[in-house]
Structure 1
Amino acid sequence: MLSVAWKIRRGVETVMALFLLAMVALTFADVIGRRLIGKPIYGSNDITEHMMALVVFAGLPLVTAAGAHLTIDIMDKLVGKPWMAWWRVLSAALVVAVLAVIAWLFMRHGLNASRISEVSQALRVPRAPLYFFMAASCALSALAALAIALTGPMVDPTDTHEEEAL
């Protein structure tokens, strides 16, 4: 089971890296075209907007699986030690529920966008697939949140972190 999770993680990392690389290449080409040739890439704003959403939502399951979301521990001081385990279970359940609701809302929005043929402004790129990708990402994040609540964060032991080296 764990090897499947690691394969999914590596796949998501690869997809995110490819989206980011494509966005950087597009931005570079657009700037070069705009500054040197005087001809920007038509619709680059639309494409960049879509790619930014793809990068952010491809990264969401990775951040969730690593347990790397921003956390505030103000309630930890108010909750006594005996109740801390329950507090963590409640927090984990809330994260899973919120991510599942967001996934459901993106799915509904994607279905609506498909029904009304919602498109981007300049290139008229259909938006429904983007919303479906965002829904899938949030659903995968909800599953990752559930998994780390049961087993702990998915941390790669081969990763090096500069902040830990200081």
Structure 2
Amino acid sequence: MLKTLERILRWSTGLMAAMALFTIMWLTLVDVTGRRFFSHSVPGGLELTEMLMVVVIFGAMPLVSWRNEHVVFDSLDSYLPEWVRDIQARVVHLVCAATFGFLGYLMTTRAGRLAEYGDTTVHLQLSIAPVAWMMAVMLALTGLVHLLFVFVSVTVSAPHNPTPSAFDEATP
């Protein structure tokens, strides 16, 4: 079941973030080329890049949390017993789930207001509400990932690190 969930996350949020990043790459190439050789940039290129960056960042969050690839402060872990680390991890995931859930709720209220007021980007007049709704969904999904890890062992989602870093050798 966990492999299926990982596959779904990878092919939905991961693919979405990758496509947005690929689009930013091409948009930047066309924009810079147009500016350099034709003295014209892509109209609204900055607005598009900003919206696509939101898709990259928020789209990748559930997958990053699923793979446990976020920043971790673990300098004391080697001194703690396994059962304490397990409890600590579950508490951290519970706090993260509550935080992301709350942020998702706040973003839904913000997205609702943006839709109600009809806020748009300045140059292209694109609606901002769909981007805010996507942010809310990704925050909630990230919260659900952390909530799942409150009840499921975290070692299932540990990332595979084939190349040790310099810090791995220095750790006692």
Q: TM-score, normalised by structure 1?
A: 0.85
1:18 is matched with which residue? Answer: 19
TM alignment of 1:15-54, pairs within 5 A: 15-54=16-55
Structure 1: give runs of 5+ residues left out of the alignment. Answer: none
State the match for 1:65 in structure 2. 66
- 1:84 Cα offset (Å): 4.1
2:170 is aligned to none
Q: Which letter maps to 1:117?
A: G
Contact 1:67 1:148 in 2 (8 A): no
Q: Report the CA distance shift for 1:75/1:124 in structure 2 as closer, same or farther (over 3 A).
A: farther
Percent identity of the aligned residues?
22
Instruction: For structure 2, list consecutive stretches of 5 or more residues without a partner in the other structure.
Output: 167-172
Contact 2:69 2:159 in 1 (8 A): no
Task: Please give the alpha-carbon distance, in whole angstroms, between the structure 2 residues aligned to 1:38 and 1:135.
Answer: 38
Q: Does 1:127 align with 2:102?
A: no
Bigger mean CA deviation after superposition, 141-150 or 92-101:
141-150
Matching residue's letter, 2:144: L
- After TM superposition, the structure 1 = structure 2 runs for residues 146-165 of structure 1, keeping only pairs within 5 Å, are 146-149=147-150, 150-152=152-154, 153-154=156-157, 161=161, 163-164=163-164
* TM-score, scaled to structure 2: 0.83
How far 1:61 sits from its partner (Å)? Answer: 0.7
* 3-state DSSP of counterpart to 2:163: helix
Q: Distance in 1 between matches of 2:10 and 2:80?
A: 38
Aligned residues: 162
SS state at 1:163 partner:
coil
- Root-mean-square deviation (CA, aligned residues, Å) is 2.5
Distance 1:14 1:29 in 2: 22
Instruction: Find the counterpart in structure 1 of residue 119 from structure 2.
Output: 118
Deviation of 1:18 (Å) = 0.8
- Counterpart of 1:52, as a letter, is M
Q: CA deviation at 1:145?
A: 1.3
Pair 1:96 & 2:97 matched: yes
Q: Give the aligned residue type for 2:115.
A: S
Checking the alignment, whether the CA contact within 8 Å between 2:104 and 2:136 is kept in structure 1 is: yes
Deviation of the 1:83 alpha carbon: 4.4
Which segment drifts farther, 118-127 or 141-150?
141-150
Contact in 1 for aligned 2:16/2:55 (Cα 8 Å):
no
